[in-house]
Amino acid sequence: MRSIRGIRLMSAVASVVSLWVIGVSLLWGVTGAVWAQTDPTAPPDYSIRNIRHELTDENRTVVVLFDVVNNGGAASTSTTARVLSTQGDQIPGAEAAIPPLEQFGVYPVRLTFPVFVFQQFSGERVSLRATVGIGDIERPGSDFIGDNTTRFSVQIPVLPTVPVGTGGAQTVLPPGACDGEIVLNICFDQTTRAIIAAILAGLGILVIVIWIATIILRALFSRPATFSVWQPPYAQSAYLDPNSLAGRRALWQPHAQADTLPMPCQPGTYAARKVLIGAEGGKLKNWRVIGVRLNQYDMYGRVSRSQVIGDAGMVKRLDRAARRSEKLDAPRAERAMRAIGKKLANEFTGKVSRRSASLPVALDVRVDGKHGTVKIVFELHQCVGDGYQQIDSWEPEMVITDRSAGVIHENLTYSLYGQRPTEKMRDFRKRLRAEITRTLANTFAGASPVDKSAKPAKRGKSAADVPAAPTGAPAVPHHASVSGEGDTSMSGDTSPVEVPRDPTPPRRPASDAPHDDMVPE
């Protein structure tokens, strides 16, 4: 009996000891878990709890509700809660920002998305999953991200359908659903596209109206380009002896139309030119361009219907070239003048007819300068062999009045060929464009005012040795003030002077250049 009682006592003691060990182990484990969760230095551990969903707005919107709980340490960055399909595709609009949560913090989340995104699963149950904090709060592959994702399913309501012809059935979306593409959470259906098209059409019409109004206002308030009246600034005296040196010089001055000499050079003939320089030298120095004009002329004067006057933009570019003339070489000058030549030639050929296209063309460049800062130098040349030889040079006596305020106005006139008999209008336009460009480039390029085709005078020959009547003494012209907007008269003969680069012009007298603003006897 005693042995049996001892055995029972020992088994009872063993049972108590076992229960005590188990209790101590459980207490230790719970204490460790609680200590780990309450450790402020532990990383954040987000999880999704209490997820649920419902259909609202007459079964047109799915609402997903759940709580985001931080079971770890405090978070320092925000994250985003999303609803994804089973394939991992983002559900449009089903996302919400989650601010950083404190330890054991809870943040309620409400996500909504329209039912139409699952219209292909009408009447079926679709599986979805909610995620939070993966990648920005907890590293992918971590042991604690298992509760960062929760799966759930949504029953999609049955969407009504109607038959469409013989091609089967077409899904009819509930009111408010999007029947098109979604871009940046905006539904681009037919209605939206029609509204956008109407807005764009309205903007286009508004732009056209503003453009037309601008043209009308410019036509009402802007001044058309004009070519001002010009009188030769040098004195003309009818009492000079035409056989004297001063008389011969005065008679030659009206025949000097520009700073070029007629080409080709005909042996034994004489030609005059005028060179515009600064008071201290330098081609076109201190001269300013104030206008440019292109028109036809015949034996009676300028043909006003073919007149083309350069706009303000052309004048500014020419004036800029005149200021930079000393630094402007021929290739750079041609590049600068190409746009002007193209525009003048195109406008000019648009005004001429086939019958009048063969008339010669005059190119006028109007300049002015302040008295005392500019000079006009006349030169008389004789053709010797295949080139010109300078035989005289002089500066005219200038006429300065109070009305002119000391400003000297001068004009350079260049004569170009009209359309040739075997030339088509397209070829004529192309050649005229090139000749205008080349002529303007030669006018504004180069530092030296001396023409390269001119030969220096022979040693020992002075102005007093000029022949008494080099060309039979040119007739004395009568000056007339002519408006730049009408016909401008010139000398009786109207044969053009070709630019120096054309090797095949017909041989005409050297005095055939158009005399701008001069009336024949």
Classify the phi-psi angles of 72: left when phi > 0, otherwise alpha if psi is within -120 to 50, otherwise beta: beta
How many whole angstroms separate alpha carbon 430 and alpha carbon 435?
A: 9
Structure tokens at 288: 């300013």
For the chain, the domains span 46-161, 245-519
With both helix axes pointing from N to C terminus, report the angle between 312-323 and 330-351 in degrees, rounded to the nearest 10: 160
Angle of helix 425-444 versus helix 312-323 axis, rounded to 10: 40
- The residue assigned the tokens 């008494």 is 468
C-alpha pair distances (Å), 58 with each of 39, 54, 83 = 48, 11, 21
Q: Are 262 and 499 in contact (CB under 8 A)?
A: no
The amino acid occupying position 11 is: S
Give the list of residues 6+ apart from residue 368 with CB closer than 8 angstroms, or none: 287, 288, 290, 407, 408, 409, 410
b/e string for 204-231 if b means 16 or more Cβ within 10 A? eeeeeeeeeeeeeeeeeeeeebebeebe
Residuewise pLDDT in 10s, the chain (521 residues): 556 666 666 777 677 677 777 776 676 655 555 544 555 667 888 889 899 989 888 888 899 999 999 888 888 888 989 999 878 888 888 899 999 888 888 999 999 988 888 878 888 889 999 998 887 888 777 777 778 888 999 988 887 554 444 444 444 455 555 555 666 666 766 777 888 889 999 999 999 999 999 999 887 877 777 787 778 888 777 778 888 898 899 889 989 999 888 888 888 899 999 999 998 888 888 999 999 999 998 888 888 888 999 988 899 999 999 988 888 888 889 999 999 999 999 999 998 888 888 999 999 999 999 988 999 999 999 999 888 999 999 999 888 765 667 888 899 999 999 999 999 999 999 999 999 999 999 999 874 444 444 454 444 443 334 343 334 334 433 333 333 333 333 333 333 433 333 333 333 333 344 444 433 32
Q: What CATH code would you report for 46-161? A: 2.60.40.10
Residue 333 sits at the vertex; the CA angle it makes with 330 and 334, to the nearest 5 degrees, is 85
**C-alpha distances in Å from residue 19, one per residue of 6, 7, 31:** 20, 19, 18
Which contiguous run of DSSP H or E holds residue 462? none
